Amino acid sequence: MRPTLCAALAGAALLAVPAAAGSYRHEAEQPAGAATETFLRQHGEALAGAINHPTRAEDRARDAYRHPEETLAFWQVAPDMKVGEYAPGGGWFSRLLGHYLGGEGELVGLFFSTSTAADAAGQDRLRAAAAKFPADVAGFTGLPADRFAAYTLDAVPADERGTFDRIIIARMMHNLHGRGIADTELRAMRDLLKDDGMIGVEQHRARADAPWSYANGSKGYMRQDDVIALMRLNGFELVGASEANANPRDPANHAEGVWEMPPILRTQREDLRGLGESDRMTLLFRKAR
């Protein structure tokens, strides 16, 4: 990230901290309940079918903490859409989206740009991960691999630009910010979206009064106002915020960061085992014109 952007974020966040720590309300937010209810009336059956698919038996153990129905409904991800999953990781979202989009829609894995890698070996690993993504999702879903696609973000074909309905960035903003690659990656994603395309963000949430040294991404947490500011600086406007993935039991002050919380439990602290997963913001942004 350019130093000017980082400074702008830090300054904007200091001005934006609300009087009550942990309280997040923004003038740009619109009530999401009615839109979500309408979405579920139209697509709830298809979404429930994907969520309850037999191949998700192990993944469903985390559904109580990750709220797939509420999250995808809030992001308005319809089953006939073209959806990019940015930086696919353990496969929880990939397996769900593969089932949900594999019939009428299209799931595309969007991996880090190769320019973000530290060396040639890292670039090769990114290319290899993108190359195997379609086969991986085919293996999860039983659908043909040609139903899916994947690219590193700097190698997306030109004719794919402006064709995506949605892009999902799940629990990855801290890496974008912490590695200094947020502006280039977000703007590349912006170019892929249709004029009315949107990005859904799920991110570990720091307290609103958390110091910048804790909320700069190094601990996995970011302040919600900082994420909103970062997206706005890169050409997006906030559509709304949901508390679908909120967890007020997470103190979000762990010395070793979010990885102390379940499911990783890095420090094996018994007092954290029963808290559920991290407190997370769930945001929706539209490509600004």
Residue 40 pLDDT greater than 80, yes or no: yes
Judged against a pLDDT cut of 70, whether residue 164 lies above it is answered with yes
Residue 35 located in a structural domain: yes
Give the residue, 266 or 286, on which the prediction is more confident: 286
Q: Which residues pair with 243 in a beta bridge?
A: none
pTM of the shown model: 0.89
Domain presence at residue 16: no
Domain range for residue 60?
Answer: 3-9+28-287
Residue 150 lies in a domain: yes
* Between 251 and 30, the higher pLDDT residue: 251
3-state SS record for the chain: CCHHHHHHHHHHHHHHCCCCCCCCCCCCCCCCHHHHHHHHHHHHHHHHHHHCCHHHCCHHHHHHHHCHHHHHHHCCCCCCCEEEEECCCCCHHHHHHHHHHCCCCEEEEEECCHHHCCCHHHHHHHHHHHHHHHHHHHHHHCCCHHHEEEEEHHHCCHHHCCCEEEEEEECCHHHHHHCCCHHHHHHHHHHHEEEEEEEEEEEEECCCCCCHHHHECCCCCECHHHHHHHHHHCCEEEEEEECCCCCCCCCCCCCCHHHHCCCCCCCCCHHHHHHCCCCEEEEEEEECC
CATH number for the domain harbouring residue 187: 3.40.50.150
The pLDDT score that the predictor gives to residue 27 is 38
Q: What is the pLDDT of residues 213-258, one digit of tens each?
A: 999 999 999 999 999 999 999 999 999 999 999 999 999 999 999 9
- Sign of the Cα pseudo-torsion (223, 228, 231, 232, in order): negative
| Biggest alpha carbon–alpha carbon distance for the chain | 53
pLDDT in tens, 60-108: 999 999 999 999 999 999 999 999 999 998 899 999 999 999 999 999 9
Dist CA 210 CA 203 (whole Å)? 15
pLDDT of 5 strictly over 60: no
Whether residue 22 lies inside any domain: the answer is no
Q: Looking at the domain assignment, is residue 96 inside a domain? A: yes
More confident residue, 198 or 7: 198
Q: How many domains does the chain have?
A: 1
Q: In what order do the strands lie in the sheet with 148-152?
A: 148-152, 106-111, 82-86, 164-170, 193-204, 280-287, 236-242
Answer yes or no: is 142 within a domain: yes
**Residue 35 confidence class, pLDDT cut points 50, 70, 90:** confident
Q: Which two tokens stand for residue 268?
A: 């094996």
CB 32 within 8 A of CB 242: yes
Q: How confident is the model at residue 3 (pLDDT cuts 50, 70, 90)?
A: very low
Q: What angle do CA 13, 262, 229 make, to 5 degrees?
A: 15
* Highest mean pLDDT (candidates 15-19, 28-32, 191-195): 191-195
Please report which confidence band the pLDDT of residue 18 belongs to, taking 50, 70 and 90 as the band edges. Answer: very low
23, part of any domain: no
Evaluate whether 205 touches 280 at the Cβ level (below 8 Å): yes
Across residues 28-46, what is the average pLDDT? Answer: 81
Higher-scoring residue by pLDDT: 25, 60:
60
- Does 32 fall in a domain? yes
- As a residue count, the chain comes to 289
